[in-house]
Amino acid sequence: MPPAAKLPAASPVEVTVDFDSSIQSLSALDAAAYRLIGTATCQVDRAGDRYVCRLVSSTNPQKGAVLSSNELKERFLNLVADENLRARVAEKTEGVRNVILALAFGALAANQNDAG
Amino acid sequence: MARFLRPESFSAATEDLSLLPFNFERAGANQYLVANMVGDFVRLSEEELNRLVDLQVRPGDGLYEKAYAAHLITGTNQKAQRQLLAARLRSRMSFLQQTTPLHIFVVTLRCEHSCPYCQVSRQSTDRSRFDMSEQTAMRALDIAFASPTARIKIEFQGGEPLLNFPLIRKIVAAAKQRSGKKLDFVIASNLALLDDAVLDFCKENNVLLSTSLDGPADLHNKNRPRPGANSHELAIAGIRRAREILGPDKVGALMTTTEASLDRVDEIIDEYLEMGLDGIFLRPLSPFGFAIKTKQFAKYDAQKWLAFYERGLRRVLEINRQGTPFREFYAALLLTRMLSDRPIGYVDLRSPAGAGLGALVYNYDGSIFASDEGRMLAETGDDAFRLGHVEHDSYNSLILSDKLIGAISSSLTQCAPECSTCVYESHCGADPVYHYATQGDALGIKPLSAFCARQKGIMGLLLDILENSPEDAAIMRRWAAA
């Protein structure tokens, strides 16, 4: 889902991105922020019906060069998009994942004579 | 006239398809690397990935076939693929059935080398109070033999274990007298003290030797100083003699990468080739013991090490293309995981972690640790991975200790942030001791972890070669099948 990007911050290594909290999950933002550790910090605040994410590039990034504000915003939006997709995959596959794990290690492991 | 129905009539309806679990990672502009539940990889475009998640696939559209072959979709009522994935997963994880196959005996902390990168914090040779006693050794054997696995490996370490060779003799004899387990023995030695008595003993008892060889003489001697500055000379002589007496497959060597090694990987590999060794294990420094005190560990980062590793791997592949079989052992380990379902219980490359479940370490003073790195931490004053003592602990009390269960359960990659959704998770491992040592936490923040950066970097490199260099890919597939 395309988030509503807002106002780059004054500094070239700071940028703020916000999202409609009725369509964007906080957990995906958290996961995206986690993957950004070492590249930038991300502070998530709630402002009315928006999640406001304030990104600040690390001055000494663990991975690669210091990003420009546009690059940082793009990186974060990509991470959020990927996390949203991961959440959809997880939701759609949770049941079958549990079945496979049960077949491999759990209660169903000893009873597999009903091959389909 | 009877006619066949159109092809679509024979295909499953979209609503009859189900998505199977998978992980993915953005891998460049409009490209994703996708791994199914057992780590088979496939590359998809962004459009393909979104169509897949929405199950907008039909037989004949290419993506349907690709996704079916990669176990990313299945028929809703079809059990076979679920059972196949379960069987493969069970096979991959079956190393867990062999609990604690490795038992490391630190028979002495004394050493006549003074390597600045030493992970162990060795003691000088004149302090006999750093030797393991026979009583401690026999109690440790009791615990080792109580582990449930049918085959155990007893590895002698130090310090320099040959400085307490009489105790090694006693432990081997006592272990062989006990029945019920198949036994393997390894002495991890710098070989400086190797003599005919040691070699005769090794031959008689089928004991393997594992030594250190860091490269050409100047580099090796710089990394591994000892009185006389002849560590390289003695290691080379020891390897040659051991290969002659014990056989070429009974002695192996390991290298450690220091800052001085970074520009010399070709020479290091050539040294191994000249010795007739069948491969090399390109290893980074570990963040323990003297490697921290002397700041060796901080002298290069993961990116520098990865550049060193890639140069080395490509050199090894070139040697193979020229007709000499020669492996890079870490790549071989990872490739075995990536290209087969064989259970690989290598202690640093598994989740649940290998600490305690893969190995126990009996220190010279009777303290027991969950891993070799755990006792290295203790030598610098941190007992985070000290599980107990031979005098008052049993195998069960060690394995079921809150400390061990806490370290293993808190570091599981299967449910850790980032790891649990990482495209490489099936082939990676939890390394709680490394992350505790570098970040003060057994789980660690993976975006800041050099272990994570190295793992992703190496697996990305291996995939690139497998996909884009057919001749090298054939060589690497042979390593995985060996």
Task: Out of A60-64, B10-14, B100-104, B394-398, pick the least confident.
Answer: B10-14
Is residue A79 a part of any domain in this protein? yes
In degrees, rounded to 5, the angle at the alpha carbon of residue B378 between the alpha carbons of residues B351 and B396 is 55
CA distances from B406 to A60, B178, B368, B438, B439 (A): 33, 33, 16, 18, 17
Residue A40 inside a domain? The answer is yes
Residue A58 is assigned to a structural domain of this protein: yes
B256 vs B215: CA distance, rounded Å:
9
Report the pLDDT averaged over residues B178-207: 95
Q: What is the average pLDDT value for chain B, to the nearest integer?
A: 92
What are the phi and psi torsion angles at B199 (to 5°)? -65, -40
> Which residue out of B49, B85, B422, B455 would a mutagenesis test of the A interface target, given it has the greatest number of A Cβ atoms within 10 Å?
B85
pTM of the model: 0.91
What's A59's DSSP letter? S
Residues of A with CB under 8 A from a CB of B: 31, 34-39, 62-63, 78, 82, 85-86, 88-90, 92-93, 96-97, 99-101, 103-105, 109, 112, 114-116
Instruction: Dump pLDDT digits (tens) for A28-81.
Output: 999 999 999 999 999 999 999 999 999 999 877 766 777 889 999 999 999 999
Contact with chain A for residue B20, Cβ under 8 A: yes
In whole angstroms, give the CA distance from residue B315 to residue B328: 10
CA diameter of chain A:
65
Does A111 fall in a domain? Answer: no
- The 10s digit of each residue's pLDDT in B90-147 is 999 999 988 999 999 999 999 888 887 776 656 665 557 899 999 999 999 999 999 9
Partner-chain contact B418 A34, CB within 8 Å: yes
Distance between first and last Cα of chain B = 59
Q: How many domains would you assign to chain A?
A: 1
- pLDDT score for B112: 83
Mean pLDDT confidence for B174-189: 95
The pLDDT of residue B122 is 60
In a domain, A35, yes or no: yes
Q: Does residue A109 lie within any of the structural domains?
A: no
Nearest CA among B254, B37, B57, B15 for reference residue A105: B37
- Output the pLDDT for position B154: 98
Range scoring the smallest mean pLDDT among A11-25, A30-44, B1-15, B239-253: B1-15
Q: What is the ipTM, given to two decimal places?
A: 0.87
Task: Check CB contact under 8 Å for A103 and B82.
Answer: yes
CATH number (domain holding residue A60): 3.30.1370
Residue A34 lies in a domain: yes
Tell me the pLDDT tens digit for each residue of B296-337: 667 788 999 999 999 999 999 999 999 999 999 999 999 999
Of A82, A92, A100, nearest to B82 by CB-CB distance is A100
Residue B243: pLDDT over 90: yes
Cβ distance B448 to A37 less than 8 Å, yes or no, reads yes
Is A36 part of a structural domain of the chain?
yes
3-class SS at B386? Answer: strand
Q: Could you list the residue range(s) of the whole structural domain that residue A87 is in?
A: 14-104
Q: Which of B53, B74, B83 sits opposite A89 (nearest CB)?
A: B53
C-beta atoms of A104 and B82 within 8 A: no
Chain B residues with CB inside 8 Å of A114's CB? 79
Q: Is the pLDDT of residue B260 over 70?
A: yes
